[in-house]
Amino acid sequence: MGRDSATGDIAQGAEPRAITDIDGDDVPRTSTRVGEFDRVLGGGIVPGSAILVGGEPGIGKSTLLLQVADAVSQDTRILYVTSEESARQTKLRASRLGIASPNLLVLAETNVERILNQINRVEPTVVVIDSIQMIYKPDLPAAPGSVTQLRDCCMDLVYLAKQTGIAVIFVGHVTKAGTLAGPKIIEHIVDTVVYFEGDRFHSHRIVRCVKNRFGSTHEVGLFEMTGEGLREVLDPGKLFVEQYGEGGPPSGSIITAAMQGSRVLLVEVQALTASSVIGAARRKVSGVSSDRVGMIIAVLEKRAEMRLAADDVFVNVAGGVKVVEPAIDLAVALAIASAHSNRPLPQGTLAVGELGLGGEIRSVPQLETRLREASRLGLGNAIVPHMGSHIPKLGGMSLHEVRRLSQALSDL
C-alpha cells in the first residue's frame, strides 16, 4: 500500500536519540581575530551558522565587517558580497583601512541566485552579505527591500549555510523611515543577532548580542571609530565618565556602575530640571527607560516630598550608552535630586541600587564586582544598598550604605 512506502520514505529521516547519547561537546568556532567581535559571538563564528549584524545607516557595520573579513581571511577564504556599493567603493574603503588580503574576495551582486552560485563555486568559509535588504530574487513579484524579498533571500542563504557549513553574516539596516523592511523580520531565521548601539555623533560603538543559539546573549563588544576604522576598546574603565577638573561636576551629575555582559562599565548619569509651562511638564530621557524614570520621579514626589510636577525633567546617560537594568535607579534619583536642589555631588561619587515603590533601596546583582571596578578606577565614595555583614574591602573607596531613598537624599 501507499502507506507502507510512505513510512519507508519517512524512515529515511532523522532518528530520535536519547539526549544522553547526543554529542554535546562545545561547537567548533572560527575566531574572527577581532577579540571584541568574538566576545559578542560567544567565542567566534560557528560553521554553518547565520549571523545578523543590524544597526542604523552610517554606524559602522560595513567597516566592522570588512575588518573582520580581513582578519579572518588571514587563515581562510572569505567572500564579501557588496550589494550596496560597487567593488571599487569597497576597495577604496579597504585601502583606507589598510586591508590587502588576497583571500578576501569581493563580489558586487544583488541577485541572490547568482550570489548562491558564486558561493558554491568559491567555497568560502564565511560569506558576508552587505546588505541583505538590497538583494533580490528575480522570480518573486515583490520589490527589493520588501518583507517577502528579505525573508526569501535570507532563507535561501541560511539553507545553503546549513547544508554546506559555510557561515553567513548578514548586514541589516535599521531605518526609522520604514522604507526598507527591517532586520527584525529575519531575526527568527538566523542563529545569532547583534546590534550596533551608540550614535554617529559619538565615536564609541557598542555591539550587543540580543540572540545567540550558540552562546550567551548578554555580551557586548566595545569599539571606537577612528580615522583607520574601528578600534577595539579593551579596558572600557572610565570611557563614559567625563573628567571634571578643579571645579568638580555640575549639579545633576553622578556615576553609576552598569553591567554590560560580564564587564562593568562606569557611566555618568546626568539630570536637569527646569521650570515648565504650567500644566505641561515634560520628561525627556535618553539612555534609560522613560517608564523607569517616570516611576523614579513618582517615588521622589511621594516618598521624598520633592515637588517636580511643575518642572521639566531631562535625564541622559552620557556617551550614547543605554542602560536597561534597575541598578541605575538610585543614580537617576540622586541626579534628579541634585539637579532640583542645584547642589552638585562630590567628584567621583558612585551610586548603585534599585529603587522600590516604597522608597526602599534594594540590592543589585554583582554589587561587589561593580564596586571593585569603581574602586580600581579610583572613585572615592559609593552610595550603595545595605549590605549586612558582607562588606568587601575596597582599597580607598568609602561605602555609604542606605536603606531608604530619604536617607541617601539627606546627605546631598
256 binds, among ligand TYD, Mg ion, none (CB under 5 to 8 A by kind): none
Phi then psi dihedrals of residue 241, to 5 deg: -110, 125
Is residue 135 a contact partner of residue 110, using CB atoms and an 8 Å limit? yes
User: Does residue 133 touch Mg ion according to CB under 5 A?
Assistant: no
Residue nearest to Mg ion (CB): 62
Which run of H or E residues covers position 218?
A: none
Give the residue from 71, 117, 115, 110 showing the smallest Cα distance to 94: 71
Total interface residues for Mg ion by CB under 5 A: 1
CA–CA dist 313, 308 (Å, integer): 8
61: contact with ligand TYD by CB under 6 A: yes
88-117 positions binding ligand TYD, by CB under 6 A? 93, 96-97
Kindly tell me which of 187 and 401 has the beta carbon lying closer to ligand TYD. Answer: 187
Site string for ligand TYD, 222-261 (x = CB under 6 A): ---x-xxx--------------------------------
From the CA atom positions of the chain, what is the Rg in Å? 26
Distance, in Å, from the CA atom of 289 to the CA atom of 152, rounded to the nearest integer, reads 35
Residues in region 251-280 near Mg ion by CB under 5 A: none
For residue 40, the minimal CB distance to ligand TYD (Å) is: 16
Alpha-carbon span 261 to 118, nearest angstrom: 38
The number of beta carbons lying within 10 Å of the beta carbon of residue 274 is 11
60 lines the binding site for ligand TYD (CB under 6 A): yes
Grid cell digits, residue 238: 572610565
Contact residue for ligand TYD among 30, 49, 62, 381 (CB under 6 A) = 62
Residue 59 binds which one of Mg ion, ligand TYD, none, with CB within 5 to 8 A depending on kind? ligand TYD
Query: Which of Mg ion, ligand TYD, none is residue 73 near (CB under 5 to 8 Å by kind)?
Result: none
- Give the shortest CB-263-to-Mg ion separation in angstroms: 27
Measured from the CB atom, is 66 or 297 closer to ligand TYD? 66
Tell me which of ligand TYD, Mg ion, none is bound by residue 58, counting a contact when its beta carbon lies within the kind-specific cut-off of 5 to 8 angstroms. ligand TYD
> Cβ–Cβ contacts within 10 Å for residue 9, how many?
9
For residues 39 and 207, the answer to whether their CB atoms sit within 8 Å is: no
Distance CA 181, CA 336 (A): 39
* Binding footprint of ligand TYD on the chain (CB under 6 A): 55, 57-63, 93, 96-97, 225, 227-229
